Amino acid sequence: MGFSVFSRVLVGAVLLLAACSTEQARPGVGDHWHVAYGVYICDSYAEPLRGDLTGNDGFPPGKNYKIVGVHSHNDGLIHFHPFSGLAAGPKANLGLFLSMYGIGLSDEQVDLPEYLGGSLFEHVSLCLGHDAELQVQYWPDASVPDVFTTFTTGLSKVPLIEDGAAVALMFARPGTVAPLPPSVGAPITDM
């Protein structure tokens, strides 16, 4: 007994769809991508997040680092090298990176570490005496500074799916356009 022509076509189509969907899920397990990031508060960038998370800086590894593979080296760069599907494809987003540092982000609030200003609330916390909002600017290619997208909703789900991209988490007056993060072009230390 063999497969009918219909069965062979159906199996072939399923395998083709599976292969195509796997190719589209980038970054994938085994990739190692870098995204420059910055936290822009009111009118300037704050210092990068502290903590390596890999354990290479003398501190214990981050709680989920060995499962996810997302971290920074105090260098203003997000290192995305998914160890599992938990950080691959559409799961590679700003919220995942921030959660590695214990930072909560919604469309109305960000809970930054105290050294970056602590919790900021949209339309409650002020910037230089003015109303401020949370937003994210995303440059799919950091070498092209004039091409970016500004998000004001879905902030934690902003995808980080291009190697060499840049992203700015912003708490600023509505309509503010931030420059590229200072870490764009920083030397890459891979660990």
| Per-residue model confidence as pLDDT tens for the chain (191 residues) | 454 544 343 334 443 444 444 445 788 888 888 999 999 999 999 999 987 777 665 555 566 777 788 888 888 999 888 888 888 888 999 999 999 888 999 999 999 999 998 999 998 888 988 999 999 999 999 999 999 999 999 999 999 989 999 999 999 999 999 999 999 987 777 65
Q: Is 164 a member of any domain?
A: yes
Q: What pLDDT, on the 0 to 100 scale, is given for residue 61?
A: 59
Does residue 181 sit within a domain? no
Within-domain flag for 101: yes
Q: Is residue 139 part of a domain?
A: yes
pTM score: 0.82
* pLDDT at residue number 22: 42
All residues at 6 or more sequence positions from 139 whose CB lies less than 8 Å from its CB, including other chains: 145, 147, 148, 165, 166, 167, 180
Range of the domain at 133: 27-172
In a domain, 116, yes or no: yes
The four Cα atoms 165, 170, 174, 177 give a dihedral, to 10 degrees, of -40
Provide the pLDDT for residue 30. 86
Q: Which candidate, 146, 174, 168, 185, places its Cα nearest to that of 44?
A: 168
pLDDT at 47: 93
Question: How are beta strands 126-127 and 130-131 bridged, if at all?
Answer: antiparallel
The answer to whether position 7 is within a domain reads: no
Name the domain count of the chain. Answer: 1
CB-based burial, 106-120: b 16+ in 10 Å, e otherwise: eeeebebeeebeeeb
Helix or strand run (H / E) with residue 118? none
pLDDT at 36: 96
Is 14 within a domain?
no
Residue appearing with tokens 């919220």:
95
Say what the pLDDT of residue 43 is. 95
Going through 73-112 in order, the beta strands assigned E by DSSP cover 77-80, 104-105, 109-111
**What pLDDT score does 163 carry?**
92
Quote the pLDDT of residue 59. 55
Query: Are the beta carbons of 172 and 42 closer than 8 angstroms?
Result: yes
53 occurs within a structural domain = yes
